[in-house]
Amino acid sequence: MFATGHVPLSPDALHILTLLKDLWVKSLPYREAYAASKPELHLLAWDAGVYQLKHLWRDLFPEEWDALKAAHKSLAERLRPGVYEFGFLLR
């Protein structure tokens, strides 16, 4: 599945990675044409990431993009209390 080194990932995190990978693969055939219409996004760069690709995903695959955002939001809400509890930020 995903190489995560020695750190086990939660089922929620693995679900997000799966959604992201599936969306990335699904969008590959459309990337070149979309990039030609939006050169400012640099979608053909070797390091194009979610920041650039979200535009393509939002426009061409809105249901999948919304599912990814919802899964990410759910995990973020679950982790948010730990930011303070474990001392990453102070109140």
Helix axes 50-60, 62-85, angle to 10 degrees: 140
Per residue in 4-55, pLDDT (tens digit) is 567 788 999 999 999 999 999 999 999 999 999 999 999 999 999 999 999 9
Two structure tokens written together for 1? 């599945």
What is the arithmetic mean of pLDDT over 45-68? Answer: 95
Question: In terms of Cα–Cα distance, which of 85, 90, 50 is closest to 69?
Answer: 50
Dmax (CA) for the chain in angstroms is 47
Q: How far apart are CA 72 and CA 86, in angstroms?
A: 21
> CB within 8 A of 14, min separation 6: which ones?
1, 2
Residue 86: pLDDT band (50, 70, 90) is confident
**Is the Cβ–Cβ distance between 23 and 17 less than 8 Å?**
no
The answer on pLDDT for 1 being more than 70 is no
